A and B are shown apart, each in its own frame.
Chain A
Amino acid sequence: MARRYDSRTTIFSPEGRLYQVEYAMEAISHAGTVIGILSKDGIVLAAERQATSNLLEQSIGSEKIYEMNDNVVAGVAGLTADANILINQSRVIAQRYLQRFDSPIPVEHLVRRLCDLKQGYTQFGGLRPFGVSFLCAGWDPTFGFQLYQSDPAGNYSSWKAACIGENYSNAQSILKQEYKDDDSSDAGSNSSNVGSAGTRMTMDDALKLTCVVLSKTIDTAKLTSEKLEFATITLKDDKPYIHIYSSEEIDEVLKKYDSVMKPSED
């Protein structure tokens, strides 16, 4: 019965749902976890690589974290093949903007363009929607550091800390508990509440919290650089600086925060 409404993305079910889009989101909740945490002076992104085998050659570049532009870096959860198309598109969009205005694309602008593209596939033409969620971490002069999450339906939202992929609800509740929000009165002095305006986290706190959440959500005895990817975006000489960690650097981070990472109780 359900099959009557499954085969095309463009058809609503009698309950008013788009099953293909929901299935795509379901697929993502089984993909490797991606975590993003905003701090005062930067954003940390971390991603889990699933299904590694000792026969598999380590890929040269990163598989789940990509630079979209000089000021935007994204973590991917879902089908990597689909993600490649979207990453490529967003790189083109960002460069076109640079060519037109001679300034880096505002983060939300890029995210919105990307989501417009994703939304299009839930309504027109294609066979299925893109099975990809992104966590986009970026910086622009107007709003500072920003972290955006997007889903296959084309929705996007801005977060102080967010998680997509496997176990995302667990991770999100840990983040909610542990995240140090800025509730002091001087938060009002900055008129804009977008981006890094209202947080007390430092980069160190963010890295630490990332490790804590990873250790509790990833089902493994010990975290290693083989299964993880890390990236940060910070400011260097007033310009955004994206750093994608090498495996040695990841091991260093894991070693540094080893004490706070306890294996999950359940």
Chain B
Amino acid sequence: MIKLNAFFKSFGPKKVLRGLNLETESGEIVTLVGNNGSGKTTLLRILTTLDVPDSYNIAEIDGFDLSTNREEVRSRIGYLSHNPPYYPELTGVENLKFWLDLNSIENSEEKARNLLAQVGLISFSDDLSGNYSRGMIQRLGFSMAISHSPTTLLLDEPFTGLDSEGTEIIKELLLKQKEDGCSIVIVSHDELSYSDRTIKLERGEIA
């Protein structure tokens, strides 16, 4: 669950987020739409703790403050950036296993293969990820985002580069996460039919 109140962020003189208020419930899918530069990605990056807000009254994930409980926040979020990071020298399963091991998750190899099967990459799991297509990287990135059972999923244009099969797989997995009580925020240029709410950002404010 995300709770933001009077949330501000600037880059130099440019005010990117202006007194934003946002609340999401568990098991809710919220789509953030808006033009380029409206502050969508900045908001997501701050929620992941990769960036810091300038000021706020409340900024919490599951009751943990974004500034003072960063480790707790990080352990609760799954994040898929616009260009999912990965190590091209490692295979798909090695990338995922590395991430799981880093987060101290047991049976990492078995869990990694299971996740790759869910996103339809099991037959490519032992191939070097440097040879993956854009859509396959997106699937790998998504499996990393959900691998540690986060309570909040933050997805920046998750359907980029995906074919229709990939889009359907990710959609099914998103609905499963929703059923499990995960709070999901999706940044997208299009409205999504299965989204519970669509919020439009305009110059850092909710329109």
Q: Do A and B bind each other?
A: no
Q: Which residues of A contact B (CB under 8 A)?
A: none
